[in-house]
Amino acid sequence: MQFDISVVNQLIQERRSIFPVHYSGEPVPRFIVEKMLENANWAPTHRFTEPWRFKVFTGSGIAKLATFQANMYKEQNSGNGDFEESKYEKLLKKPLLCSHIISIGMHRDEKKSIPEVEEIASVAMAVQNMYLTATAYGVGCYWGTGGVTYMEEAKPFFDLEASDKLLGFLYLGMPAKAWPKSRRRPIREKVQWVD
């Protein structure tokens, strides 16, 4: 196999989280989303459990997701004094800035007895594959864990079982502004070599 290593390096170094407030409103072509999902499917997976589970919301599906999240937040927090109207409104409106939203689930295959952390890591690598694919096509995306991410009661909406985990959402949109620049400290500050 031969690859242009400089292009691979540039792609990895140019990947960014681009937030929904910075999307133009232009829809992301479906073929790009399908390619992102296909590339996610090639992430490393211990014993081939392939634990990633995605649900893609677009068009009126985004409004359904927004309404579900906002209403669940209200139900969970109205009686305990933690309800904030501004958070409720944000859950209703923020998703509408996106072209697509992909829920990120981790399915447990209890029969294969893989440590949960390895399954979560595998899903994260699948999401990184989607991030890199989006970058290659000039699509902005952002992995967020707000809203209903950690609410057990939300799992059925995303077709997840009790032993599965909802790990957040990948928000997609075409950037309205120039691609942001890098902010990373040098790798030498984070590595020790043992010879």
Assigned token pair, 182:
């890098």
Q: What is the largest distance, in Å, between two alpha-carbon atoms of the chain? A: 60
* Per-residue confidence in pLDDT tens, the chain, 195 aa: 889 999 999 999 999 999 999 999 999 999 999 999 999 999 999 999 999 999 999 999 999 999 999 999 999 998 888 899 999 999 999 999 999 999 999 999 888 789 999 999 999 999 999 999 999 999 999 999 999 999 999 999 999 999 999 999 999 999 999 999 988 999 999 999 999
**Domain 18-57+95-178: CATH class, spelled out:** alpha beta
The per-residue pLDDT for 113 is: 87
For the chain, the structural domain boundaries read: 18-57+95-178
Of 12, 14, 22, the residue nearest 171 (C-alpha): 22
Which amino acid appears at position 76 of this protein?
Q
Provide the pLDDT for residue 82.
87
Nearest to 158 by CA among 77, 94, 65: 65
Q: Give dist(CA 51, CA 23) in Å, integer.
A: 30
pLDDT confidence of residue 155: 97
Q: What pLDDT shows up at residue 188?
A: 96
Q: What pLDDT score was predicted for residue 79?
A: 82
**Model pLDDT, residue 109:** 86
DSSP 106-145: E---GGGT--HHHHHHHHHHHHHHHHHHHHHHT-EEEEE-
